[in-house]
Chain A
């Protein structure tokens, strides 16, 4: 099965909070990441969390990690139309110098 799974699509209204979820299978994951990709562009690193942390906040972004359930979420407060993009969850593990990505969640923000 997939190492990292995400739901495909999320639609929210401007000003609401968005929560994008991700599950991973490997308990040896060391770091977990959120990347954003806008049309025609590369990947933008939004934030990452070390596996021994539960939460990380960075301005409008809050990352929650439930290591027991292998569940990661990204909350975007006060979502704006400029937040419309595809969001990728990714993980890396000690000894494997590569990122394993989920399939991405397309976030659509309705005005």
Chain B
């Protein structure tokens, strides 16, 4: 079966702009989580959605937001981009919660 699909794979944005990243989970999975990976901070949890509801949120500013649609696809949005938002953004899907979470290839965001 198809894995987790993240689009786009690469993005270059300018400071102050906003960006939307997309994640299509594995068919049948209802939980989608987002993580940010940077060389300095490592892998950090952003938020988790289940059946269109945000169930858990990490310690990120309100500029980072997300949503989940009825088909379990999820988007995350970052507004007013800062240089420090440059990172690999990873999406993970699972049936329920973090156990057996499968990750996508990630979206590499560069803010210039």
A residues touching B (Cβ–Cβ < 8 Å)?
Answer: 31, 35, 41-45, 48, 88, 90, 92, 96-104
Question: Could you tell me if A97 and B43 are in contact, using CB atoms closer than 8 angstroms?
Answer: no
Question: Could you tell me if A42 and B104 are in contact, using CB atoms closer than 8 angstroms?
Answer: yes
Contact among B43, B45, B99, B105 with A88 in the assembled complex (CB-CB below 8 Å): B43
Residue numbers in B under 8 Å from A41 (CB-CB): 105-106
**Contact A45/B42 with A97-B48, A98-B56 known, Cβ cut-off 8 Å:** no
Contact among A44, A98, A104 with B33 in the assembled complex (CB-CB below 8 Å): A98
Question: Could you tell me if A99 and B45 are in contact, using CB atoms closer than 8 angstroms?
Answer: yes
Q: How far is the CA of A20 from the CA of B43 in the complex (A)?
A: 18
B residues touching A (Cβ–Cβ < 8 Å)?
Answer: 4, 6, 31, 33, 35, 42-43, 45, 48, 50, 55-56, 58, 90, 92, 97-106
Question: Could you tell me if B101 and A99 are in contact, using CB atoms closer than 8 angstroms?
Answer: yes
Question: Could you tell me if A92 and B99 are in contact, using CB atoms closer than 8 angstroms?
Answer: yes
Question: Could you tell me if A98 and B48 are in contact, using CB atoms closer than 8 angstroms?
Answer: yes
Give chain A's interface secondary structure class.
strand
Question: Could you tell me if A101 and B43 are in contact, using CB atoms closer than 8 angstroms?
Answer: yes
Q: How far is the CA of A100 from the CA of B48 in the complex (A)?
A: 13
Question: Could you tell me if B56 and A96 are in contact, using CB atoms closer than 8 angstroms?
Answer: yes
Question: Could you tell me if B106 and A45 are in contact, using CB atoms closer than 8 angstroms?
Answer: no
Question: Could you tell me if A45 and B97 are in contact, using CB atoms closer than 8 angstroms?
Answer: no
A97-B31, A98-B45, A101-B35 are known; give 6 further A-B pairs, CB within 8 A.
Answer: A42-B4, A48-B99, A97-B33, A97-B56, A97-B98, A98-B56
Question: Could you tell me if B100 and A45 are in contact, using CB atoms closer than 8 angstroms?
Answer: yes
Residue numbers in B under 8 Å from A98 (CB-CB): 33, 45, 48, 56, 58, 98
